[in-house]
A and B are shown apart, each in its own frame.
Chain A
Amino acid sequence: MELCIDRISKQYKNKIAVDRLSLNLTSGVYGLLGANGAGKTTLMRMICGISKPTSGEVKFNGMDVSEERYRDALGYLPQDFGYYPEFSAQDFMYYMASLKGLTKSQAKLKTKELFEIVSLTEVAKKKIKTFSGGMKQRLGIAQALLNNPQILVLDEPTAGLDPKERVRFRNLISELGKDRIVLLSTHIVSDVENIANTILVMKNGQLIHKGALEEIIMIIKDKVFECTVDDKTAEHLIAAYPVINMRSEGENTFLRLVSDEKPHHTAVNVSATLEDLYLYYFSEVIENE
């Protein structure tokens, strides 16, 4: 099982959303990290065949992304996915099952099974327009799994889920990732940290890092420091280093920052997390947003 992304690019009028990105994915869970506008959604759309690359190609086990067989192996949850408000959840699942080529009996069986998994059995016959954001998201996850896909692409799957649902969902993804390719993007770093075997970091349309959590964190190993300093020193440090976290502590300010060398004599080197890396890389973007 191999999903090959070969020098794929997507250019809009004046912007390159994805820039000559190459990637080979085998079974496992891949967490795609990047700030808004990094190209994550565009990449996912190209993998799902709903956005045509300007150049490059996507193939799964030799099948081109444009082939029906490829789509048969695909499950996709788009970010902010559309639905039919007047349809019941069950009807929506049956509809999606028809789109995915399932027979009626398969659709019934799969819908029942997936509703149990995402806890929608009780509301299966209710109209989607009555659903909360979390319920809609769970429905979206269920529909993505209808055809037992070999490639599962999930764009912001945990958005709108409460912490309990998120944990359940993470466990489900981990399970699914054993025998299929799961690519998920999220802003919630802890989700990726907990379930992704491989983390992909995108910036300005390019893949800047790829690896297991430990490998990725190595990039900023020994570079994360914490210190509590007075406001004047804090101002100086904020201007000089990428600050990951800061909070006021009485007359002083607590800072967690990234630096190649000890930024202040009171600073203590601490172990790095994925969130540190994320904030370190995307602090500029986040500040501009």
Chain B
Amino acid sequence: MNNLGSLVGFEFKKILHNKSVIISIVIAFIITVFSCFTMIIGSNRQSNYGSDTMSNYDAMLLDKSYEKEFDGRLLDGELIMEASRAYQKIDENAAKYTESEGYQKYARKYSGIYGLIDAAFAQPGKAFNVNDFQAISEETANNYYAFRESQYRTNLANNGLWSSSDIEKVMEMDEHVQKPFVLSYKDGYQRFFVLSMTTIAILLLVISFCFSPIFSNEYTKKTDALILSSKNGKGTFIHAKIVTSLLFSFSLTLLFILSAYFVCMGIYGFDGTFAQLQLLIPAITYDFTMLDAAVLILVTSIFAAFLHTSICLFISSSSKNIIIPMAVSVVLIAAGMFNGIDNNFFIKLRYFLPSAMGNFADITTQLVFNVFGIQIMLYQAVCIVAAVVGGLLLLLSYRNFKNHQVG
């Protein structure tokens, strides 16, 4: 009889009997949920209007009401000029324009439009500031999409990570992007995407904590002798360990990512679900909706969790020490979040680390990889690599435990 089912059940029991695992999951879950609320807690200077102090929650509601006024409108020359005229009402002498009455009364509701177009009109070494926006010509405003395309093409060409064929591939995708952009309130998605780096880091830490001891515990607790001398100890048992770890890791990923998603949606609303991703990253040429991007984050996070779990299992199967797998996985998490190396190889390599795979800003980077003449995008490449490397590491983990020598 194949005892895989009952062995998986016992493996779950072993994990859940560990109080520190349960405590770490609960703490991590609370942090994840709490982090969704951080932008609406308290108040700050930008919320001040006149003598009244506005809480961040009220500011969010105000901005939401402003942005929803534009729901369904096209981001065209006419709207850009309308926004520019509103910005012209900002008091020139204000020390900080966002605190001026003119901004709060007339321009604030157009701030999202300014945020969407500024990057396209920036010049080398000179940002497109409020004064530039106030002075924008109708001709320039009408040519926003041409500027946007040209700016993105130039940025990619100036960056050593894209070849000319890569750039063509990226720009080709822009043909499918609807233009002019259709505006929509999307702060729930924006918050979810911004938090994706924190969420994936917390998730991977929990995975490290749960699975770093998965094999090494059997060595240190001396249960390995009983297991390896039993009929299923060198086969079904190891399958059960792997299946349990992957199921648990998958469940944790769904729990953390979907909790962050639904809490963000609960706070800000589901508005923008079918809006274009360009409303968050105007330059991007993926024809994705916000929901597509959220699903993409979920999928890449699942692959990230798979890879990270495999790494933990592999190190755990090779070491009797519980600290080593934990330390290595923490270093890997940190490395995936560290974006300060000026070397093309390491820059690309970082995107394949689990903590970068679940980060919205990293995974939506439009890097192109050429595999046997086929051009694939970064988000596809990381999933393929995670599946292959993770699978190999699981095979090695299997082999390591099977060949483990007691004594």
Does A52 interact with chain B (Cβ within 8 Å)? yes
Chain A proximity mask over B237-255: 1 for CB below 8 Å, otherwise 0: 1000000000000000000
Question: Once the chains bind, are B225 and A45 in contact (CB under 8 Å)?
Answer: yes
Chain B, range 1-20, C-beta contacts under 8 Å to A? 1, 3, 6-7, 10, 13-14, 17
Question: Once the chains bind, are B407 and A95 in contact (CB under 8 Å)?
Answer: no
Question: Once the chains bind, are A143 and B222 in contact (CB under 8 Å)?
Answer: no
A103–B224 CA distance with the chains assembled, in angstroms:
22
Does A210 interact with chain B (Cβ within 8 Å)? no
How many A residues are at the interface, by size bracket? Answer: 20 to 34
Chain A residues whose C-beta falls within 8 Å of the C-beta of B10 in the assembled complex: 91, 94-95, 98
Question: Once the chains bind, are A84 and B14 in contact (CB under 8 Å)?
Answer: yes
Does B23 interact with chain A (Cβ within 8 Å)? no
Does A50 interact with chain B (Cβ within 8 Å)? yes
Question: Once the chains bind, are B237 and A99 in contact (CB under 8 Å)?
Answer: yes
Q: If A86-B17, A87-B13 touch, does A100 touch B225 (CB 8 Å cutoff)?
A: no
Does A96 interact with chain B (Cβ within 8 Å)? yes
Question: Once the chains bind, are B231 and A147 in contact (CB under 8 Å)?
Answer: yes
Partner of B223 from A45, A76, A82, A102 at Cβ < 8 Å: A82
A-B contact count (CB 8 A): 98
Q: If A83-B223, A101-B3 touch, does A52 touch B405 (CB 8 Å cutoff)?
A: yes
Question: Once the chains bind, are B230 and A71 in contact (CB under 8 Å)?
Answer: yes
Question: Once the chains bind, are A98 and B232 in contact (CB under 8 Å)?
Answer: yes
A232–B222 CA distance with the chains assembled, in angstroms:
50
Question: Once the chains bind, are A98 and B3 in contact (CB under 8 Å)?
Answer: yes
Pick from A94, A100, A147 the residue with the most CB of B within 10 Å: A100
Does A51 interact with chain B (Cβ within 8 Å)? yes
Q: If A41-B407, A84-B14 touch, does A48 touch B225 (CB 8 Å cutoff)?
A: yes
Question: Once the chains bind, are A99 and B405 in contact (CB under 8 Å)?
Answer: no
Chain A residues whose C-beta falls within 8 Å of the C-beta of B227 in the assembled complex: 99
Partner of B224 from A72, A82, A94 at Cβ < 8 Å: A82
A98–B233 CA distance with the chains assembled, in angstroms:
10
Chain B, range 151-187, C-beta contacts under 8 Å to A? none
Chain A, range 57-75, C-beta contacts under 8 Å to B? 68, 71-72, 74
Question: Once the chains bind, are A51 and B407 in contact (CB under 8 Å)?
Answer: yes
CB distance from A94 to the nearest CB of B (A): 8
Does B68 interact with chain A (Cβ within 8 Å)? no
A147–B10 CA distance with the chains assembled, in angstroms:
19
Does A137 interact with chain B (Cβ within 8 Å)? no
CB distance from A36 to the nearest CB of B (A): 14
Question: Once the chains bind, are A71 and B237 in contact (CB under 8 Å)?
Answer: no
Question: Once the chains bind, are B224 and A99 in contact (CB under 8 Å)?
Answer: no
Chain A residues whose C-beta falls within 8 Å of the C-beta of B391 in the assembled complex: none
Does B228 interact with chain A (Cβ within 8 Å)? yes
A95–B233 CA distance with the chains assembled, in angstroms:
11
Question: Once the chains bind, are B223 and A71 in contact (CB under 8 Å)?
Answer: no
Chain B residues whose C-beta falls within 8 Å of the C-beta of A82 in the assembled complex: 218, 221-226
Does A42 interact with chain B (Cβ within 8 Å)? yes
Chain B residues whose C-beta falls within 8 Å of the C-beta of A51 in the assembled complex: 405-407
Question: Once the chains bind, are A100 and B232 in contact (CB under 8 Å)?
Answer: yes
Closest to B11 in A: A95
Partner of B230 from A42, A84, A86, A100 at Cβ < 8 Å: A100
Pick from A41, A74, A87, A95 the residue with the most CB of B within 10 Å: A95
Question: Once the chains bind, are B407 and A45 in contact (CB under 8 Å)?
Answer: yes
Chain A proximity mask over B371-407: 1 for CB below 8 Å, otherwise 0: 0000000000000000000000000000000010111
Chain B residues whose C-beta falls within 8 Å of the C-beta of A101 in the assembled complex: 1, 3, 231-232
Question: Once the chains bind, are A84 and B223 in contact (CB under 8 Å)?
Answer: yes
Question: Once the chains bind, are B231 and A99 in contact (CB under 8 Å)?
Answer: yes
Chain A, range 21-63, C-beta contacts under 8 Å to B? 41-42, 45, 48-52
Pick from B10, B13, B234, B403 the residue with the most CB of A within 10 Å: B10
Chain B residues whose C-beta falls within 8 Å of the C-beta of A91 in the assembled complex: 10, 13
Question: Once the chains bind, are B222 and A50 in contact (CB under 8 Å)?
Answer: no
Chain B proximity mask over A74-93: 1 for CB below 8 Å, otherwise 0: 10101011111011000100
Chain B residues whose C-beta falls within 8 Å of the C-beta of A80 in the assembled complex: 222
Does B229 interact with chain A (Cβ within 8 Å)? yes
Chain B residues whose C-beta falls within 8 Å of the C-beta of A95 in the assembled complex: 7, 10
Question: Once the chains bind, are B14 and A76 in contact (CB under 8 Å)?
Answer: no
Does A209 interact with chain B (Cβ within 8 Å)? no
Does A104 interact with chain B (Cβ within 8 Å)? yes
Partner of B226 from A42, A78, A104 at Cβ < 8 Å: A78
Pick from A76, A78, A91, A104 the residue with the most CB of B within 10 Å: A78
CB distance from A175 to the nearest CB of B (A): 22
Closest to B7 in A: A98
Residues of B within 8 A of A (CB): 1, 3, 6-7, 10, 13-14, 17, 218, 221-235, 237, 403, 405-407
**5 A-B interface contacts by CB (under 8 A):** A45-B406, A50-B229, A71-B231, A74-B230, A143-B226
Q: What are the 6 tightest A-B residue pairs by CB atom distance, in nearest-first order?
A: A82-B222, A82-B223, A86-B17, A99-B230, A78-B225, A50-B406
